[in-house]
Structure 1
Amino acid sequence: MMTIRRINHIVLSVRDLDVSTRFYRDVLGLRVVARLAGTAHWPAMAFLRSTPDSTNHHDLGLIANADAAADGLRRPGLFHAAFEVGTIDELQDLRHRLAAAGALGSDLDQGMHLSVYGHDPDGIAVEIIWRVPAEDWSYADELRRAPLDFDRARQRWGGRLATGSAAGAPS
């Protein structure tokens, strides 16, 4: 059975991306490492890291999708919690388990990690990630959200390549 290795990052829904980014940068000392411009289909985002030696792409994500003006709209708060697994095989196993529980969302290749999204019984979003090897992505790369092709990923890295904390990465 696969093992969740650690919490990898959190993403918060915020009302004002610039105000929240300044707070986490200026007050809490996180470093802004990337931004994603909003589109007609996805809100703007900012990505921050806690320390220079963190091996995560980001430790905190901020997404500008909160609006407290009327019922039914997303409130400020937790957008999702991300949990890290060690291998692509473990990621796909969890995908099957989420599907069997009726809790599967989507599968995405985000460049710095491969993701399977789902939700808990209360509807709180969870993301399960496998970290792409550090030598295979860069902060200079354009951020993306592409469908995850497990067969293609397995051809590139194999199903049992351990990365992140499973391979002894510090954080």
Structure 2
Amino acid sequence: MTINAVRLNHAVLFVADLERSVAFYEKAFGMTVMAREPRANAAFLRLPRSGNHHDLGLFGVGAQPPRPRGSIGLYHLAWQVDTIDELEQARLTLAELGAFTGESSHGATKSVYAADPDGNEFEVMWMLPRDTWGEFENAAPVERLDLGAEVARWSGVGTAADLNQDVTR
């Protein structure tokens, strides 16, 4: 029997400097600290439009050598935005923070990539309307993103509310 999960609720990262990481996620995503646990040197942050208790947990563990890219462990987190316009703004925000690392089109999703102060990679992505996935229904290519063209085509189209809300038990 499989686990009947409905979504990933939150992510937790080990970070070198807790306050530096809290400040980064506040600036990048507008997150607010919802709770702290001083005994664990931890902070729990919520996205501005989230109804969740917390979306990200950060545990300060002190400076350590970075994990080599491609080694076993988490590759990246993906944060979804509602509109392609918000993705364009995310790219600007991440560039201003010196965190932007790249962008790509995965067919049904359009993505920009960045790294936090500890080198943890993350993706900010926008999903095409479900009824337009077409050939990308069962594909996830990695192609060049022409964000300007995507904004011209999809500006103002929100898709986050279209996520599968079927939570029958």
TM-score, normalized by length of structure 1? 0.52
Please give the alpha-carbon distance, in whole angstroms, between the structure 2 residues aligned to 1:117 and 1:72: 18
The residue type paired with residue 111 of structure 2 is S
Task: Tell me if 1:160 matches 2:156.
Answer: yes
Kindly indicate whether structure 1 or structure 2 has the higher relative contact order, using CA contacts under 8 Å at least 6 residues apart: 1
User: Normalized per residue, which structure has more strand?
Assistant: 1
Q: What is the percentage of aligned positions where both structures have the same residue?
A: 34
Superimposed CA distance per residue, residues 113-139 of structure 1 (whole angstroms, 9 cap, x where no aligned partner): 000000111000000000111112145
- Give the AA of the match of 1:143: A
Partner Cα separation in structure 1 for residue 9 and residue 148 of structure 2 = 24
1:170 paired to 2:165: yes
Q: Which runs of no fewer than 5 residues in structure 2 stay unpaired?
A: 1-6, 12-66
Name which of 97, 111, 117 aligns with 1:115: 111
Partner of 2:27: none
* Aligned pairs, number: 104
SS in 2 for 1:114: strand
**1:15-50 alpha-carbon deviations (Å, 9 max, x no partner):** xxxxxxxxxxxxxxxxxxxxxxxxxxxxxxxxxxxx
Counterpart of 1:149?
146
Q: Partner of 2:3 in structure 1?
A: none
> What SS class does the counterpart of residue 146 from structure 1 fall into?
coil
Whole-Å Cα distance in 1 between the matches of residues 124 and 10 of structure 2? 10
- Structure 1 residue 99 corresponds to structure 2 residue 98: no
Summarize deviations over 1:32-84 as a string: whole Å, max 9, x none.
Answer: xxxxxxxxxxxxxxxxxxxxxxxxxxxxxxxxxxxxxxx84632110000000
Could you state the TM-score of these two structures normalised by the residue count of structure 2? Answer: 0.53
**Structure 1 residues 149 and 168, CA gap change in structure 2 (3 angstroms):** same
1:49 corresponds in structure 2 to none
Aligned to 1:75: 71
CA contact (8 A) 1:115 1:130 kept: yes
